[in-house]
Amino acid sequence: MDPARSHERVPIRRPGGRAASVVARVHQAARELLTEVGYEAVQLPDVAARAGVNKTTVYRRWPTKSDLVADLLLGLSDHDLPRADTGSLLGDLVAMLKDVAELLRTPLMQAMVRASLDGSIDQEARLSFWAERMHRSSVIIERAVRRGELPESADARSILEHAASPIYFRLLVTGEPVTDHDIGRFAERAIEAAQRA
Amino acid sequence: MDPARSHERVPIRRPGGRAASVVARVHQAARELLTEVGYEAVQLPDVAARAGVNKTTVYRRWPTKSDLVADLLLGLSDHDLPRADTGSLLGDLVAMLKDVAELLRTPLMQAMVRASLDGSIDQEARLSFWAERMHRSSVIIERAVRRGELPESADARSILEHAASPIYFRLLVTGEPVTDHDIGRFAERAIEAAQRA
DNA sequence: CACCAATAGCAACTACAGTTGCTATAAGAT
DNA sequence: ATCTTATAGCAACTGTAGTTGCTATTGGTG
């Protein structure tokens, strides 16, 4: 239909020049403030000020605090997940769970999870974010299957969820502490259940 | 030391007359608004208006929204926990988990859990609240032990946490749905693990 | 049935989060 | 180089959340 297909109709007008720098600085400022004063106390004008950016700029891109913080969550990239290869499923799993626990103890992460409760993230994005994260960690399971520690039928997603959810539960909901000993138990439990399947 | 021990020094001046009615009405108004517009959109002045109470009254008792909502959580009484006696551990557990899932799907409960993340509840109160809730549900486990379905050594708290945390995880964190089938699996898994202990 | 302390209502205020319309700038296209 | 469009900055404004000092009720006490 369109003869000049080379430059389509699609508004590819979304460069990464100045805009990118603004986004980066605002994100950074938000992360800092969140860890310093906590979600509740963070104010968009403050974020703007710290980012060295005008208030309006922030408001136009992120109408609410929730939106900004949720955006932060989605921007959480890998480099804080996979983890070392310890040689055993238990070792890998424990290492991963320790990371999870550490992350969940930070005000930043708590704020991000919270923001996602406000519906500032469309359901689809939220689901795919967590799916992606799970997927990244599933190397652990794949390795275990290759080693023969788990049956071929093992479902990575389910195992990881099984092992990790009590940590989320305690750290985010009840506020109870999670010890390394607990983590060991959670990991063992999940492994046993998976082997039985 | 104090001769007139009959009317101590303690400011027992905290009757339950008018004050109680105010508290009740504000709580009610808050609950309604939370379910209608969601945590983020609830504003203390609105709550006051709906409760037919002056703004100042609300602000003086609950300085922030978090405080009010957290208070709501602590006020969550039993009558929505124990549950029917189905005759089997699995049946009881599944019934309980279904209740949990249902509760967690309400904006009200989500708001309350969220507020507890803001540190508006002192850690002690938060812990004892959840401990109490767990304790209430532990009849299920006790009955199972009596029936011989579980060893004497069974730890109610641990079993309940094991079975329930994936539900919290999905409904509060990832946003994934929880089906009745999932609930059945969670319950079975927890029971098997407990029997093995 | 006065008295007293606690707490609710009222009213006036203020500070500042969030909005809006306009101008300036910088990136991409030609 | 020039034109165009998206996006940032600026400045002035507005609504209202949250505060404060004072008065009015109310419920317990002797």
B38-75 pLDDT, tens digit each: 999 999 999 999 999 999 999 999 999 999 999 999 98
Q: How does pLDDT run across B143-165, given as a tens digit for each residue?
A: 999 999 999 999 999 999 999 99
Residue of A66, A117, A165 lying closest to B110 (CB–CB): A117
| CA A146/CA B92 separation, integer angstroms | 39
Rounded CA-CA distance A51/B38 in Å is: 30
Higher-confidence position of A3 and B186: B186
| 3 state DSSP class of B10 | coil
pLDDT at B79: 64
Confidence at residue B12, expressed as pLDDT on a 0 to 100 scale: 40
Is the pLDDT assigned to residue A98 strictly greater than 90?
yes
pLDDT digits (tens, 9 = 90+) for A8-33: 333 344 445 667 789 999 999 999 99
Q: What is the pLDDT of residue B82?
A: 66
Give the model confidence (pLDDT) of B103-124 as tens digits.
Answer: 999 999 999 999 999 888 999 9
**What gap in Å lies between CA B88 and CA B86, rounded to an integer?**
6
- In whole angstroms, give the CA distance from residue A69 to residue A115: 6
CA closest to B121 among chain A residues: A175
Does the pLDDT value for residue B13 go beyond 70?
no
pLDDT tier, A133 (very low <50, low <70, confident <90, very high otherwise): very high
What are the Cα distances from residue B7, in Å, to B14, B15, B17?
Answer: 14, 15, 20
pLDDT per residue over A108-132, tens digit each? 999 999 999 988 899 999 999 999 9
With an 8 Å Cβ cutoff, are B172 and A127 in contact? Answer: no
| List of protein residues whose beta carbon is under 7 A from strand C | A 7, 12-13, 15-18, 43-46, 55-56, 59-60, 63-65; B 11, 13-14, 18-19, 22-23, 52-57, 60-61
Q: pLDDT tens for residues B127-146?
A: 999 999 999 999 999 999 99
CA of A24 and C1' of D6: distance in angstroms?
18
In angstroms, the CA B126 to CA A195 distance is 36
Mean pLDDT across the stretch B13-31?
A: 80
Please answer whether residues B68 and B47 qualify as being in contact, where contact means their C-beta atoms are separated by less than 8 angstroms: yes
Mean pLDDT of A78-84: 67
Q: Select the residue from A160, A174, A181, A182 to test the B interface by mutation, using most B Cβ atoms within 10 A.
A: A174
Over range B2-10, report the average pLDDT: 34
